[in-house]
Amino acid sequence: MIGLRNFIIGFMFIILIVSTIMAEPGFDAKTYESGNRIWDEDMSDTYTWTPQSFSGFYYNPDTDEGKETLTIKDIDRSIDNGNIEYVTEPIVKEFECNSFGNYSVIGFMAERYFTGYEEDSIMNNGFSLLDKKILIRVLIDDDESRMIKSGIPLVLEEGYEFRVTEYAASGDDVMVALFKDGESIYETILSEGSTFTYEKDMGSAYDIPIIALHVDTVYRGMETSTISIDGIFQISDDYISVVEGDEFGLMEIETVDSDKITMVNSNYVSLKKGKTFNLMGKINIEVGNCDELRFALAVDTSEPGTYELRGTVTQDEKYTWTPLNFEGLLYDMDSGECTETLKLDNREGRTIKCGNLDYITSTINTSFEYSGWDDYESIGFMGEKYFTGYKAKSIVNKRVSLMDKGRLGKILIDEDEKHTLYVGNSLPLADGYSFRIDEISQDGDSIMVALLRDGEEIKSDIINDESTYTYTKKIDDEDVPIIAIHIDKMFRGMETDSIFVNGIFQISEDFKKVEEGDSYGKMEIDNVDKDEIKMSNDGSITLGKGDTISIMGDIKIKVADSDTVRFYPFQEIKVAVEGLPTQIPTQMPTTEQIPIPEFNIILLPVMVIIGLMFLLSGKKV
């Protein structure tokens, strides 16, 4: 008979192990959100967003084509049903591989979908999927040259692979096979200049080519034989239905035909202060947390992928981009403050001469997320938010300015989440830092804490409750807090002692230097003072056909591959797969994610065995 006491001890031991592993604190990946053309009360109460002004809509800069629009009528805090109308139409587009001809594509809720083949293309007779009320995502469309040898597969999307299996004894014929998830599903014989296609039924649409590869050359050598592929087109083997009455988010399909899809809101939509909600697909609406009605369309960038935040497209010789028409520049939806400006003073043909592209940004007062601290000073710089200084009587008693020292600090954490921290536990911060509580005094009025970096203790302090703990770095003989933690309350219990944290602010100690003469890409800093930075291009910029030009930081200019000089600025955002963030964490564990001591996974098997021994032991303890 298993001893009851041993059973309980063993059971609790295993529960402790499991809960320890599951409670490991973690950060949420940064989710990148950016408004485009912002609507406010100074604008008409009927407003239309187009591909030229909202980067979530599909746009082809080479042909200046984009057929998605979203119109809102009678704009107010509550929008009646039927007053939001979304219309999208297909566009004929050339395949990247010229041998394939043309196909039609449609922008649908911030994603690009295939709608059919044109005549004399991969399908000679052409075909429209909209007639069948289905859409398919485009996975690959490129004209890169690839050499494929026997035994080495060409990896495609969604588990497909293309392989050369055998060369003919003479001539340029070659036997190839298509594999799906490791199994051969189709074999055929190709020759030089031919196109491989794999067809599949998609709903009520039959024999639709979903993969096409163009064979440029077949080379037979004495020892090595290869084929050269110079064009790949692939669409998903899954599809979405677009039938009248189908709902996507808050929108419902009203009509579908071969030329157009129309959707409207089937119920009223509330633009509540501070609310961000999904309208449809990847398109959200972000509403400012203010009495004045201010809102914007925003692309949901939470899923892994690469996103292009595009500025308004122009053909003008003079043009100005602000956060209102270029979502790559910083904008505060709540206050309406925006200080970044990219201004084209003059363009001569395809040339922007030295000094004719200006960038100006200035500081603004920004509220800490924790309301107990006063404002700090921040600045948008090349599309990113930076810390520039503390105001007097905020976290510090006197004003501290990084701008005066020619530096900017990246904001890593700014939050007012509540955290419960027990004695011996560490609260993880950014840049390898963590904050640990070591002991609470007997009277419960003070606490001994330690700051660690990469697991090594670097500073210990004694602080009181309802106080702010700071860790400073000396910059030009002045102490600048890079970490601030507000202690709300302390609790001394019969069995456990804890503290409650309700405010954290942290900036990077790897400061960005901003001094006159410093260069960022094609821009050079002309002037830096206590509240403004001015830059201009320090050399001529040529807007060549089809060029993508790095201007400064992550901001680039894309030029249409067209005789017409047409271009726009953009910022590319890359979101990594969950668990592999490319950005510094911006959220801390909440009270439901109580930090615990680090757990050594190597000890897991030993601890489990000990627990099982208690469970199975018949001896008394």
88 falls within a domain: no
User: For the purposes of burial, counting CB atoms within 10 Å of the CB of 67, is it exposed (0-12), middle (13-18) or buried (19 or more)?
Assistant: buried
Mean pLDDT value of segment 27-39:
44
Query: How many other C-beta atoms lie within 10 A of the C-beta of residue 103?
Result: 25
- CA torsion sign for 310, 314, 318, 320 is negative
- Do 500 and 607 reside in the same domain of the chain? no
Mean pLDDT value of segment 206-212:
95
DSSP SS3 for 21: helix
What are 271's two structure tokens?
């633009």
Q: How far apart are CA 595 and CA 578, in angstroms?
A: 21
Q: How far apart are CA 568 and CA 558, in angstroms?
A: 6
Q: How far apart are CA 219 and CA 172, in angstroms?
A: 8
Last residue of a domain, one of 512, 547, 563: 512
pLDDT tier at 89 (50, 70, 90 boundaries)?
A: very high
Q: What is the pLDDT of residues 282-291, one digit of tens each?
A: 999 999 999 9
Contact 232, 140 (CB under 8 A): yes
pTM of the model: 0.73
Q: What is the pLDDT of residues 166-194, one digit of tens each?
A: 888 777 789 999 999 999 999 999 999 99
- Do 499 and 603 reside in the same domain of the chain? no
pLDDT of residue 602: 40
Output the domain CATH number for residue 167. Answer: 2.60.98.40
- Do 503 and 370 reside in the same domain of the chain? yes
- pLDDT of residue 8 exceeding 70, the answer is no
DSSP SS3 for 71: strand
Contact 503, 373 (CB under 8 A): yes
Q: What is the pLDDT of residues 346-394, one digit of tens each?
A: 999 999 999 999 999 999 888 899 989 988 999 999 988 999 999 888 8
554 falls within a domain: no
Q: Output b/e per residue, 345-367; b: 16+ Cβ within 10 A.
A: eebeeeebeeebbbbbbbbbebe
120 falls within a domain: no
- pLDDT of residue 219 exceeding 80, the answer is yes
- Do 506 and 367 reside in the same domain of the chain? yes
What are 366's two structure tokens?
């920004």
What are 538's two structure tokens?
């320090």
Q: How far apart are CA 559 and CA 557, in angstroms?
A: 7
Q: Which residue has the tokens 């403004």?
A: 532
| Cβ-based neighbours of 605, under 8 Å, separated by 6 or more | none
- Do 491 and 608 reside in the same domain of the chain? no
- Do 20 and 144 reside in the same domain of the chain? no
pLDDT of residue 613: 54
162 falls within a domain: yes
According to DSSP, the residues that pair with 305 across neighbouring strands are 575
Contact 93, 81 (CB under 8 A): no
Question: Angle CA(238)–CA(243)–CA(249) in degrees, nearest 5?
Answer: 80
Mean pLDDT value of segment 535-561:
96
pLDDT of residue 550: 96
Domain count, the chain: 3
Q: Which letter does DSSP use for residue 220 in this model? A: E
| Percent of the chain residues past pLDDT 70, beyond the cut | 87
Q: How far apart are CA 136 and CA 19, in angstroms?
A: 43
Query: Which H or E element spans position 609?
Result: helix 604-616
Instruction: State residue 369 phi and psi, 5-degree precision.
Output: -65, -35
According to DSSP, the residues that pair with 376 across neighbouring strands are 366, 390
| Cβ-based neighbours of 21, under 8 Å, separated by 6 or more | 599, 604
Last residue of a domain, one of 458, 491, 512: 512
Whole-angstrom distance between the N-terminal and C-terminal Cα of the chain?
A: 14
Contact 197, 211 (CB under 8 A): yes
- Do 475 and 607 reside in the same domain of the chain? no
Q: What is the pLDDT of residues 444-493, one digit of tens each?
A: 778 899 999 999 999 999 988 778 999 999 998 899 999 999 999 888 77
Query: Which H or E element spans position 493?
Result: none
- Inter-helix orientation angle 4-22/604-616, to 10°: 160
**Average pLDDT along the chain:** 85
- What is the domain range of residue 230? 133-240
pLDDT tier at 617 (50, 70, 90 boundaries)?
A: low
Last residue of a domain, one of 497, 512, 527: 512
- Do 501 and 610 reside in the same domain of the chain? no
418 falls within a domain: yes
- Do 506 and 388 reside in the same domain of the chain? yes
215 falls within a domain: yes
| Percent of the chain residues past pLDDT 90, beyond the cut | 61
* Three-state secondary structure string covering 386-430: EEEEECCCCCCCCCEECHHHCEEEEEEEEECCCEEEECCCEEECC
- Do 490 and 608 reside in the same domain of the chain? no
56 falls within a domain: no
- Do 507 and 606 reside in the same domain of the chain? no
- pLDDT of residue 615 exceeding 60, the answer is no
Amino acid type, 122: I
Q: How far apart are CA 183 and CA 185, in angstroms?
A: 6
pLDDT of residue 78: 96
What are 169's two structure tokens?
């004894």
What are 318's two structure tokens?
């003079």
Instruction: State residue 37 phi and psi, 5-degree precision.
Output: -75, 115
502 falls within a domain: yes
Q: How far apart are CA 410 and CA 357, in angstroms?
A: 25
